[in-house]
């Protein structure tokens, strides 16, 4: 293939605005009556349609047990759009979009229902709407295996795809509750689908600011040379939530902060922050480097968990002058529960780039502020020049990537205070997404769903990535087993976590840098 042919091929796989081309297809949503469909999936597909990003033609089919007509389901979805859409609903656009929505009633284990689904797809009359299929499993993970088996029996899912068609499966977390359950779940999926057909979705990876981590690191020559142990003192990753558990007490008793946040969101962010440059921006090249990074994290044994990991649980307190109950007083929570609502970890990465650099991760509920950010703190400068004026208080340089809200990047450095003295004070340069690009930012699901339709797996999680993450957190949970929380592990709602979390950093002379509200 000569250079002209290569250029033509590249142009054919991209739209004019740089997005990947998408082929006509049908999107089948299992669990169509559920909250996720109304709250996230249909609004995301509507906005993609309004933006002209979906293929022509396409269809959306909802599959669920309740009896409904196409029209009644469309009316339900329209009512949901009034609640959950990020924009005001345009009725003319909705009517065109709704005309492409159908409903198929059936039980997930009923083979006849899959026959009706196959007949509906064939009746669309466009062969590509029958051949190219995206199955979104918005159902319990325990039902994944039954659905993919039935799809295979109905000849709707082919593990070895012919060259002129494709089928893909999108599955929601949690991807198991520990390593054995994750391996079992993955095995059930790959019995009937190839790994390349499986798209494990973590909505954090769809956030614009999370995607920008790679662009920031690898497209700016002034930063990447500093991104290693010779320049970086330590890294802090904070994902804080202002809300408590609320009505999710039953779920949270089973998951806790470690399973709910650390195993997926925080380790995903860590892998993007610390991974090596990929050989290309192709999906597998990026995912290879993420897995290498996760495998480089020094294991924490159950016996060592107490020295490197802190758990916490909130008791009654105030958040923004609002009284909040303690976790043990929440609905469906045991009165003596030891479930963690806060986790802080010290992780070490055993590779050439990061040897000896601690990574501090924390997440919690009922904290003072909802924020997600990464702070890369550089090594302090020698104090010889400024010791007379500043003593040991000269602030180290830092880069903070604010992932949400008030998305942006902050560079912290020292500057001279105007006047006759030689006083030095930390100052900050601020890049704001809103100021630079405008307030519009697509919902994470919009980006992820479009990537799944386009067949780009970059923002989705591979099997070995899931299982490696569980290998990191399972020994920690084992170390907590049967051990009650201590007094230093409780924290008042509205504070930044337990005293034990401060103790964790104090061992190495560090302190937490709390996210700050940005006006």
Catalytic residues: 265
Residue 166 · residue 132 · CB < 8 Å: yes
Q: Is 455 left (phi over 0), alpha (psi -120 to 50) or beta?
A: left
Show the beta-strand stretches assigned E in 3-84: 25-30, 58-64
CA distance 54 to 493: 44
DSSP 162-223: -TT--EEEEEESP--SSHHHHHHHHHHHHTTS-GGGEEEE-GGGGSHHHHHHHHHHHS-TTT
Q: Which residues 6+ apart lie within 8 Å of 335 measured at CB?
A: 328
Give the DSSP H/E element, type plus range, for residue 6. Answer: helix 3-12
Tally of residues, the chain = 519
Residue 512 · residue 502 · CB < 8 Å: yes
CA distance 88 to 82: 8
Long-range contacts of 78-81 (CB under 8 A, 24+ apart): 80/38, 80/39, 80/42, 80/43, 81/42, 81/43, 81/46
Residue 143 · residue 38 · CB < 8 Å: no
Q: Which residues 6+ apart lie within 8 Å of 151 measured at CB?
A: 114, 135, 157, 167, 192
Residue 396: strand, helix, or coil: coil
Residue 54 · residue 446 · CB < 8 Å: no
DSSP 257-310: HIIIIIIIIIHHHHHHHHPPPPSSSSHHHHHHHHHHHHHHBPP--GGGHHHHEE
Pairing of strands 358-364, 232-240: parallel
Q: How many CB atoms lie within 10 A of CB 123?
A: 10
Q: Is the peptide bond before 57 cis (omega within 30 degrees of 0)?
A: yes
CA distance 196 to 189: 11
Beta bridge partners of 70: none
CA 210 to chain centre: 8
Beta bridge partners of 399: 376, 411
Q: Which residues 6+ apart lie within 8 Å of 334 measured at CB?
A: 253, 328
């Amino acid at each position: 293939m000569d250079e002209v042919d290569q250029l033509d091929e590249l142009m054919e796989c991209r739209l004019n605005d740089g997005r990947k081309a998408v082929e006509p297809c049908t999107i089948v949503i299992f669990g169509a009556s559920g909250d996720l469909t109304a709250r996230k999936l249909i609004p995301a597909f509507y906005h993609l349609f309004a933006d002209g990003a979906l293929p022509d033609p396409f269809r959306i089919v909802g599959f669920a047990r309740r009896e409904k007509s196409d029209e009644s389901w469309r009316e339900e979805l329209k009512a949901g759009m009034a609640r959950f859409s990020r924009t005001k609903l345009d009725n003319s656009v909705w009517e065109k979009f709704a005309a492409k929505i159908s409903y198929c009633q059936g039980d997930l284990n009923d083979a006849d229902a899959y026959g009706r689904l196959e007949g509906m797809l064939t009746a669309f009359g466009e062969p590509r709407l029958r051949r190219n299929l995206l199955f979104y499993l918005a159902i319990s993970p325990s039902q994944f295996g039954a659905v993919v088996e039935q799809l295979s029996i109905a000849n709707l899912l082919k593990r070895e795809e012919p060259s002129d068609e494709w089928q893909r499966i999108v599955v929601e977390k949690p991807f198991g509750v520990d390593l054995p359950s994750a391996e079992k779940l993955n095995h059930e999926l790959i019995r009937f689908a190839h790994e390349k057909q499986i798209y494990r979705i973590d909505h954090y990876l769809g956030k614009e600011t999370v995607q920008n981590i790679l662009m920031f690191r690898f497209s700016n020559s002034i930063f990447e040379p500093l991104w290693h142990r010779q320049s970086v003192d330590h890294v802090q990753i904070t994902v804080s939530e202002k809300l408590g558990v609320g009505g999710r007490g039953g779920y949270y008793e089973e998951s806790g902060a470690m399973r709910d946040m650390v195993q997926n969101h925080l380790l995903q962010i860590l892998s993007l922050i610390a991974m090596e440059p990929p050989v290309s921006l192709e999906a597998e090249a990026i995912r290879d480097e993420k897995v290498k990074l996760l495998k480089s994290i020094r294991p924490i044994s159950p016996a060592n968990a107490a020295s490197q990991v802190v758990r916490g649980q909130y008791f009654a307190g105030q958040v923004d002058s609002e009284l909040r109950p303690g976790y043990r007083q929440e609905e469906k929570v045991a009165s003596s529960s030891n479930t963690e609502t806060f986790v802080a970890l010290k992780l070490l990465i055993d590779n050439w780039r990061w040897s000896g650099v601690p990574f501090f991760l924390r997440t919690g509920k009922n904290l003072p502020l909802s924020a997600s950010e990464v702070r890369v703190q550089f090594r302090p400068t020698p104090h010889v020049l400024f010791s007379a004026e500043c003593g040991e208080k000269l602030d180290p340089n830092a880069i903070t990537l604010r992932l949400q809200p008030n998305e942006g990047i902050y560079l912290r450095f020292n500057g001279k205070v105007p006047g006759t003295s030689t006083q030095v004070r930390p100052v900050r340069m601020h890049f704001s997404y809103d100021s630079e690009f405008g307030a519009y930012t697509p919902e994470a699901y919009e980006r992820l769903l479009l990537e799944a339709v386009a067949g780009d797996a970059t923002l989705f999680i591979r099997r070995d990535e899931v299982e490696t993450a569980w290998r990191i957190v399972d020994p920690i949970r084992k170390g907590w087993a049967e051990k009650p929380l201590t007094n230093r592990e409780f924290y008042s709602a509205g504070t930044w976590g337990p005293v034990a979390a401060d103790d964790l950093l104090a061992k190495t002379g560090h302190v937490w840098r709390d996210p700050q509200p940005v006006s």
